[in-house]
């Protein structure tokens, strides 16, 4: 088994009829993802890649069971769509939208916690267990990146994921489950909150985190290792080591503010906890072999 998603996970897609939604539905299905239904208000009766579309999640729930919801919904409607999924009792939600309002993100994270659900994202490519299934948009056909294996990956950056994961594969390893935590300042789920899942997963031998400047998520990972919540090997690559303070480097969350969020601080915390930090993407494979 893998974490979060495999070929048995029943997925519903909110926003399935949109351009992105329908395009990636095709790819997810081709890869082997079990997509049971889709939702787009006003489009009930239509089909996307042979998958039935419903006006609402409640109406779809009368006909189907699902384990997870994937949102291809614009950022301004994301809060509503997350609430709709939570209302249906779904405990695994992935929202890929880039541009979710900050105050909405706070409420989403809070509501997910209260419901005991995991919301992954926004501003992410989603979640993939290579060779099994995916929720989101990964070019899973790139064999030099998305090769099945025993390394878990968590990332704050889509573009860097390909770069770093290719190095894992180049080192003769592969990926168990890759979770795109996302590049927003308030992601629904944080790195350290996924570590217990990787800890329990028998298919994961080690985890690579792809972090960057800003926030405290990498420090929380160090805390989880110290607290023995996670004790498998962990390698980190962190972008923005030489970034000037106060400068937002692309992602809204990637900024050193209030004296917090520098990559140097993150390296110190992770190293003290026993993790290894790669200075360059090309070192990730070597460091993994060192620990395995």
Nearer to another protein, 90 or 167 (CB): 167
| No. of helices (H) and no. of strands (E), the chain | 9, 14
Select 63 or 172, whichever has its Cβ closest to another protein.
172
What is the Cα–Cα distance from 208 to 221, expressed in whole angstroms? 11
Check binding of 109 to another protein (CB under 8 A). Answer: yes
Catalytic annotation present for 55: no
Which residues are 48's β-sheet partners? Answer: 51
Q: Tell which residue, 161, 189, 179, 250, has the closest CA to residue 214.
A: 250
CB of 61 to another protein, least distance (A): 25
Q: Which of 26, 64, 142, 226 touches another protein by CB under 8 A?
A: 142
The single residue among 92, 147, 190, 266 that binds another protein, judged by CB under 8 A, is 190
Binding mask 22-61 for another protein (x = CB under 8 A): ----------------------------------------
Q: How far is 279 from 276, CA to CA, in rounded Å? A: 10
User: How do beta strands 51-54 and 47-48 pair?
Assistant: antiparallel
Q: Are strands 126-129 and 133-136 parallel, antiparallel or unpaired?
A: antiparallel
d(CA 167, CA 263): 21
Cβ proximity to another protein: between 1 and 102 the closer is 102
The stretch near another protein (CB under 8 A) out of 37-45, 57-65, 98-106, 264-272 is: 98-106
Q: Taken in order 181, 187, 191, 194, is the CA torsion positive or negative? A: negative
Q: Does 186 bind another protein (CB under 8 A)?
A: yes
202, 201, 206, 207: which is closest to 181 by C-alpha? 207
216 binds another protein (CB under 8 A): yes
The binding site for another protein (CB under 8 A) comprises 75-76, 98-103, 106-107, 109-110, 113, 125, 137-139, 141-142, 155-163, 166, 183, 185-187, 190, 210, 212-213, 215-216, 220, 239-243, 246-247, 249-254, 258-259, 279-282
């Amino acid at each position: 088994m893998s974490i979060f998603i495999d070929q048995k996970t029943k997925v519903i897609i909110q926003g399935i009829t949109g351009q992105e939604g329908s395009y990636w539905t095709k790819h997810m299905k081709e890869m082997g993802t079990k997509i049971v239904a889709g939702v787009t208000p006003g489009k009930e009766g239509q089909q996307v890649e042979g998958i039935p579309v419903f006006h609402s999640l409640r109406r779809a729930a009368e006909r189907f069971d699902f384990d997870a919801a994937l949102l291809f919904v614009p950022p301004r409607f994301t809060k509503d769509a997350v609430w709709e999924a939570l209302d249906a009792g779904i405990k695994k939600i992935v929202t890929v939208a880039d541009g979710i309002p900050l105050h909405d993100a706070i409420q989403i994270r809070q509501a997910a916690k209260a419901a005991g659900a995991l919301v992954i994202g926004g501003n992410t490519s989603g979640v993939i267990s290579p060779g099994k299934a995916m929720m989101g948009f990964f070019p899973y056909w790139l064999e030099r990146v998305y090769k099945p294996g025993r390394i878990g990956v968590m990332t704050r950056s889509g573009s860097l994921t390909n770069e770093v994961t290719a190095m894992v594969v180049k080192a003769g390893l592969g990926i168990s489950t890759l979770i795109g935590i996302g590049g927003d300042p308030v992601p629904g789920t944080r790195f350290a909150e996924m570590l217990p899942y990787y800890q329990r997963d028998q298919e994961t031998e080690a985890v690579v985190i792809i972090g960057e400047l800003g926030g405290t998520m990498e420090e929380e990972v160090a805390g989880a290792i110290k607290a023995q919540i996670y004790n498998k090997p962990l390698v980190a690559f962190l972008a923005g080591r030489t970034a000037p303070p106060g400068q937002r480097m692309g992602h809204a969350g990637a900024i050193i503010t209030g004296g917090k969020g520098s990559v140097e601080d993150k390296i110190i915390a992770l190293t003290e906890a026993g993790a290894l930090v790669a200075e360059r993407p090309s070192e990730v494979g070597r460091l993994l072999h060192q620990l395995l």
